Structure 1
């Protein structure tokens, strides 16, 4: 750099003497500008050397567009902590169970918040639960956790709601009478109805046009999230004509969800509020809002945060669970012997006279192991959600500048051969001991770790067990074409979902 500056100084002196060499001045000025754009903060983790202005390291990442493959290659080359520039933004990836646990659990005070990201902030307004930070996030999450526990997270009252919904679900599947169908939308609607019963105090008919519009908009936003999220790195591109990155569509869908279902329901609850009847999330939130209004205390419990929190609960509670159910059926199509073992265990423990219940779960270790293995190998959340630090920190000798996007890379744990031996193989037995009992593996972190771990983890585990065991009790799942099984190659959006497929559900 000193050499470039000296050349620039000498050139200016030359101009003063003879007024020539303007081309050299411009060339040197361009060189300095490029150098400044490419300059990296001192002490950051290693990463690609030739970072380009504006686009960053994107052209050198490889992986064929698959972020999991790209991060695995980068980890192999640079180690468990590496840095990458997406556009002008610095991203730091933390890999491996021990380092992720250290960041999210042992040093949670430093790594809990969400980074400022243009598109995420435009959608969330940094309100609600998922993309908020600081005092606002703590207050919203605390209220949500306490309220959801009151509504029976992990208890029989919630189990009854799930089983009621499963009854409608299997009834519709049975109407196909073994014919081929795509169960994606039906599964999304059914799982979403569980959240609806908690949030709104009611379920919706599968044919309800408002509910169908809600599920369709939410599904589309997840599908195009990979494109729209690119604008987090190069936000100026959102002003291009058209909608190449699906950002405008995402905004329209989000506004439509709020306008057609969430806001009307909140307004209806406000209009008909009864402090002695707070049997759903909205009415409980309103009760807290009114208490705070009376006391005059400072709080973020307000209508705007309620609306965003409702959307967050549906995001956290619908897409991941329904997608895991779809992955489970898909893997069982590829492994009919495993489906048969699960069915035998269900018959041995439950039989056919009643629905499976949570009290059966301890007696069904193999089925639990299958669900664990699906969550591990499918890895719905891909690399996890972004974190940040509120001030410059040093982590394992590397500098992490304030507001840097930090990814605790979940894939680096769930897909690590050093942890699982054969991570790319679907093998439920890895979660069983020599006596066939379920093993608790600390590296099994599909719901992440620490304070930002999935809010709905207990609900998701309950739903997965009850939905899958009831499905296998009632139906044998067969491929449409045994010689042409649907692919296990997934689709990467905001989550990792199966490529759409059809299946035959033969009544038992």
Structure 2
């Protein structure tokens, strides 16, 4: 009798566990297909620190639209140019929202700002894009600012030439200073205490991202004692940037505001803010300006500095590409004057090399997360309101069907039969749609002026073996630390 009762209990427990596991690993029928789920964790453990290889396999298995689960949260992954364009361009009003982020929610709660979508986001973004365009994306003033900073950078490199050096910090200094010139109307000396402090805490947050990123997935871990995941340090560093670096510059502009002297982003914002406040309701205010400036520094510095470092890493691995770039520069410009934007048309191979770097190195492979604004039908699937969406740019930039041999670094793919630059519509390293990178035009100008001046001035060689072209995925996909020897060409 006891044995029979025990057997019945065992069977009941076994069936209950099976049913529970089935319930915990069920996939909602209306969502796109995807891999098998594990209880509680979903697909978290299978994605790894760099999910791109996993996404490539899942695309082959399930098609251009599949769904993975981060614990209990579904994430719809869009692959392929046609699908991505259909979502973020043709249906941009639905797919342009940002999902709630653990970090942004904490930081925004501290600042009383939430600017991921809606009227505030639209008003701020429209103003930023319009103002940056008016300040001269392609105009001589902005070009002069970039050239001035480039010269400072070249001088700093020259001071240590012939010795192996890691140029990461110098590149970051220069690119950040260009943003300072646009936003603040001034640059900083590399030794300026405020500027040094800003760079220190920003770099620290970027380096901490792989640890703090765990909290994005498992936010309850923040309640553990101490600061094992460096959340408190990260939030503190953000406060340092805003309180000690950005806010004093904004206050200085307010105190010395002259409506007739609008020559930087802050002054333009103050002028427009006061005008709109007089007209009626607006989301433009000082605390919002602080957030916009923070976004400009992130959008305008990290991607560009990472791209310049990748260019150097590729030059060390492909010296023939570096030599061909220099021959083109030497033929059309020489070495006695710095290149300008007017020279771009004469340097198609240099431009093609930059484009191929952005494609090959896949600097922002997963873009920033999106979410759908309302429940929507998309290509046969029902996506609920607020569903997270990942735009997999890697699936386009590394698509064999588009590029033929995407695994090869080959700048000539961007040159037509007459040697002129050819830009396929699938070339989208800055994404597309309403959420296209805010700093794209600036980044393109910076990269052209930086790279041409670098190649014109120095010949770069490796002190040992060329650096690996396997990078690290963080805020961007960046190269591992490496050293170069910069030898003056004259």
TM range (shorter): over 0.9
Distance 2:112 2:427 in 1: 28
- 1:167 aligned residue: 151
1:414 maps onto 2:393 in alignment: no
Distance 1:44 1:140 in 2: 33
- 2:360 aligned residue: 377
Structural mapping, 1:125-136, within 5 Å: 132-136=116-120
Indicate which of 263, 267, 271 corresponds to 1:287.
271
1:438 maps onto 2:413 in alignment: no
Deviates most, 219-228 or 297-306: 219-228
Tell me by how many angstroms 1:199 deviates: 0.5
1:240 maps onto 2:224 in alignment: yes
Paired residue secondary structure (2:370): coil
Distance 1:66 1:320 in 2: 18
- 1:505 aligned residue: 486
Distance 2:111 2:371 in 1: 17
1:99 maps onto 2:87 in alignment: no
**Residues 28-84 of structure 1 deviation map (CA, whole Å, 9 limit, x = unaligned):** 7766665554443222111112x23331112334xx532111211211221110000
Verify the 8 A CA contact 1:129 1:137 in the aligned structure 2: no
Tell me by how many angstroms 1:291 deviates: 2.0
- 1:490 aligned residue: 471
**Residues 396-449 of structure 1 deviation map (CA, whole Å, 9 limit, x = unaligned):** 111211111101110000011111111111111111122221111111100100
Paired residue secondary structure (1:40): coil
Paired residue secondary structure (1:161): helix
1:122 maps onto 2:106 in alignment: yes
Paired residue secondary structure (1:90): strand
**Residues 335-392 of structure 1 deviation map (CA, whole Å, 9 limit, x = unaligned):** 1111010000001111111100100001111111100000001111121111111221
Distance 1:39 1:504, change over 3 A: same
- 2:33 aligned residue: 46
Deviates most, 283-292 or 393-402: 283-292
1:277 maps onto 2:258 in alignment: no
Tell me by how many angstroms 1:126 deviates: 11
- 2:379 aligned residue: 396
1:214 maps onto 2:214 in alignment: no
Verify the 8 A CA contact 2:105 2:114 in the aligned structure 1: no
Paired residue secondary structure (1:463): helix
Tell me by how many angstroms 1:122 deviates: 2.0
TM-score by structure 2 length?
A: 0.94
Distance 2:165 2:102 in 1: 39
Residue ranges of structure 1 left out of the alignment (5+ in a row) = 1-20
Structural mapping, 1:174-253, within 5 Å: 174-253=158-237
Verify the 8 A CA contact 2:366 2:390 in the aligned structure 1: yes
Indicate which of 144, 156, 159 corresponds to 2:128.
144
